Homo-oligomer: A and B are copies of this chain.
C-alpha cells in the first residue's frame, strides 16, 4: 500500500514542528500544507472540528490531531526506524509526564513575553525561566531527556527553542544566563541533521511574531 501522508501546519508553530521533527526522524515523506490562522482552510475545519487547530496529520485518510498524540502515532506506525519513546514503561511514563508538563505550563508565559509589557511581562519572564529551570533539572547531566539518544521529550521541547530568540528580544533577557545546560542541550539537538533541517529559523519566527503584533495592534511599548 502506498502511504499517503499530509500535514496541515503553520510554519512557526512549535506544536506543528513536533510533528515535522517526528516525521523527519522516521524519514517519512509527506505533503505539507501551510494554513493561514486568520483564514483557516475548509480542509482544516473539517479535519479538526473539535479544536480547529493545526497540526493535523492525515494518514491514508485517517485524521490525527493534537501534537503529542500525533508524535506518538508517528512513533507507533513507523516503529522500525528511530524509536522516539523509550521501551520501558517507567521511562515512557516519565517522558509523557514531562511532555504534559510542557504543554500545561510553557505556552502561556511564552506568549505573554512577546505580547505583554510592564509587570505582566516581568511576571511572565519569571514564570517562563522557572519552568525551563525545572526542565533543566529533569535533564540533569544526561545528553538528552531520555538518556543517550534524542527522543519523545526532546521532540516535545526542542521546537520551543525556535521561539527563544523572539522571547529574548521581546523580553530583554538571555535564557542562557538562567539555563546554560538547557541551551547546551538545544545545541546538541541541532547537531542532529533531521532536527536542524526541520526546525524553523529563529529569525523567521521573530519576524512572524512582530508581524502578529502589528496585525493584532499589540502595544508593548
Contacts and interface: CB of A to CB of B under 8 A. Distances in A.
Interface of A: 50, 59, 62, 64-66, 69-70, 72-73, 76-77, 89-90, 92-93, 96-97, 100-101, 134
Contact of A92 (B72, B90, B93): B72
Nearest to A79: B89
Contacts of A89: 73, 76-77
A59 to B, nearest CB: 8
A89 B64 CA distance: 10
A90 B69 contact: no
A73 B93 contact: yes
B100 A69 contact: yes
A76 to B, nearest CB: 4
B100 A73 contact: no
A100 B62 contact: no
Contacts of A72: 92-93, 96
B50 A64 contact: no
Contacts of A100: 66, 69
Copy total for this chain? 2
Contacts of A134: 50
A50 B135 CA distance: 11
Nearest to A92: B76
Given A89-B73, A89-B77, A97 B62 contact: no
For the complex of A and B, the 7 pairs showing the least CB-CB separation, nearest first, are A76-B89, A73-B93, A69-B96, A64-B93, A77-B89, A62-B90, A69-B97
B97 A65 contact: yes
Given A59-B90, A69-B100, A73-B89, 7 more contacts: A50-B134, A64-B97, A66-B96, A69-B93, A70-B93, A73-B93, A77-B89
Contacts of A77: 89
Nearest to A70: B93
Contacts of A96: 66, 69, 72
A72 to B, nearest CB: 7
Contacts of A64: 90, 93, 97
Contact of A66 (B50, B69, B97): B97
